[in-house]
Amino acid sequence: MKYYVKTFGCQMNEHDSQILAGILDNYTDEVMEVGSEKNELTEDIWQADIIVVNTCCIRESAETKILGYLGSLKKYKTANPNVILVVCGCMAQESGAKERIKKRAPHIDIIFGTFNLPKLQDYIREYRHYRQFIYDVTETPGLEKAVLPVHQDIQAFKGKVNIIYGCNNFCAYCIVPYVRGRERSRSIAHILDEVKAIAAAGGKEVMLLGQNVNSYGKDFSDGGCHHFATLLEEVSKVEGIERIRYMSAHPKDFYVELIDTIAALPKVCKHFHLPLQSGCNQTLKDMNRGYTTEQYWHILEAIRKKIPESSITTDMIVGFPGESESDFQETLAFVDNCAFDDAYTFLYSPRTGTAAAKREDQLPEEIKNQRLQQLLEIQNKHSLANNQKLVGKEQLVLVEGKSKNNQSVWTGRTDTNKIVNIPAAIGEIDYTGMFMPVKITTAKTWYLTGEFIR
């Protein structure tokens, strides 16, 4: 049996897709004969017996794009009526999604939500048996306790592990808590088992995933708030794993003692991604972010004091409803002071079902676009300046492979998550997955260039 998986959305979704693939790798049913050909992920959708679409709903535009994609799947069903079409993920979990999907893509056979990943095999078996449409978005408890197989991707030197599901924060612009439920932490034992499996398969870097990793363990019976630090210490003990990253951390829950833990653990990358979203306290309050710029600044100062070589990146949203010109000027001034290494900048776009989408003081697109340009101008200046500080220095780079845009260039990342491109000599060995010392020769806004130190 061959299957094809299409993923829309974030790193959490990409990892969920690895789990969906892992479940399908192990799929069996009574009509499959013992010794029959093994289940296999295919890159060729025309070859697939099962097509799984893992969806995202973070933006309205994402949903429109996905609905178009689901509509386009009809041709595979027409060519092969036995092919099974499955839709899951955040958009599937949304209220009213079934109707929207069935209207645009009546050929879809199975729709299930974010809580029901472990049941994929059951759905497929049931559909093969009865050939009846299946829809299941019940909020089944226990996903965090499930031990699920993970399909190993070709980048085996890197792996991802979910440490916490859901989010309790209800930021005013975000749909995630409505489609992924409340925070549920996985046990340290299960997480360590998965990290060890990644290491055993040759993995050197692991990314610990969650909507809010700092909240890890707050739902344990002792209610302690330092479980994430303990988890980092435990993951650090896993032999073979040499770099530990995490995504995402929420400034509201980023306690200063955690910086001491990270400073003391050489394997934990000295890269802090702390989504700021706005540099204006009124806008932060309207966004329901739960911190002020003063509190954010306190964390930033502590990081830079304790780990001066660290990099700090952020996410920003411009044009939130009600953001006045003076609010935005506060944001510009604050971002200028923060001097981030990089920022992922977004135009606010209303997401149906969230508090901010109901506000009447939405800003015109033109203003949002102008503000984004102003913000980028300031941020790009700091990105370049921070990168230039590394010119002439040696950095340890985990090589990820050849650059997608240029096959004569290797590309990899520093501990601080900066991209480094290294021109390759003809006939060289494959450096993919190797830690290489690199001398940085030039700096651009979004990447560095260097040469291997032989």
Give the residues lining the site for ligand SF4 (CB under 6 A): 167, 169-171, 174, 176-177, 211-212, 250
The widest CA-to-CA distance across the chain, in whole angstroms, is 69
Going by the DSSP 8-state scheme, the letter that residue 144 receives in this structure is G
Distance of closest approach, residue 243 Cβ to ligand SF4, in angstroms: 24
Residues sharing a CB contact under 8 Å with residue 135, sequence separation 6 or more, in sequence order: 98, 110, 111, 112
Q: Beta strand pairing status for 394-402 and 419-423?
A: unpaired
Distance of closest approach, residue 190 Cβ to ligand SF4, in angstroms: 22
Angle at 122 between CA 118 and CA 128, to 5 degrees: 145
CA separation, residue 48 to residues 19, 41, 79, 223, 286 (Å): 18, 8, 11, 46, 47
Q: Which amino acid is residue 28, in one-letter code?
A: T
Distance of closest approach, residue 30 Cβ to ligand SF4, in angstroms: 41
Terminal Cα distance for the chain, rounded: 47
Q: Which is nearer to ligand SF4, 117 or 167 (CB)?
A: 167
User: Which region, left, alpha or beta, applies to residue 138 given φ > 0 means left and ψ of -120 to 50 means alpha?
Assistant: beta
Q: Which is nearer to ligand SF4, 108 or 172 (CB)?
A: 172
Residues sharing a CB contact under 8 Å with residue 271, sequence separation 6 or more, in sequence order: 245, 310, 311, 312, 313, 415, 416, 417
Q: Which is nearer to ligand SF4, 270 or 289 (CB)?
A: 289
Q: Which is nearer to ligand SF4, 175 or 332 (CB)?
A: 175
Distance of closest approach, residue 315 Cβ to ligand SF4, in angstroms: 9
CB atoms within 10 A of CB 71: 16
Give SS3 for 21. Answer: helix
Q: Which is nearer to ligand SF4, 184 or 402 (CB)?
A: 184
How distant is the alpha carbon of residue 324 from its chain centre?
31
Environment class of 101 (CB within 10 Å of its CB; exposed 0-12, middle 13-18, buried 19+): buried
Q: Which is nearer to ligand SF4, 84 or 167 (CB)?
A: 167
Distance of closest approach, residue 176 Cβ to ligand SF4, in angstroms: 4
Distance of closest approach, residue 110 Cβ to ligand SF4, in angstroms: 26
Distance of closest approach, residue 422 Cβ to ligand SF4, in angstroms: 34
Distance of closest approach, residue 212 Cβ to ligand SF4, in angstroms: 5
Q: Which is nearer to ligand SF4, 347 or 396 (CB)?
A: 347
Q: Which is nearer to ligand SF4, 57 or 88 (CB)?
A: 57
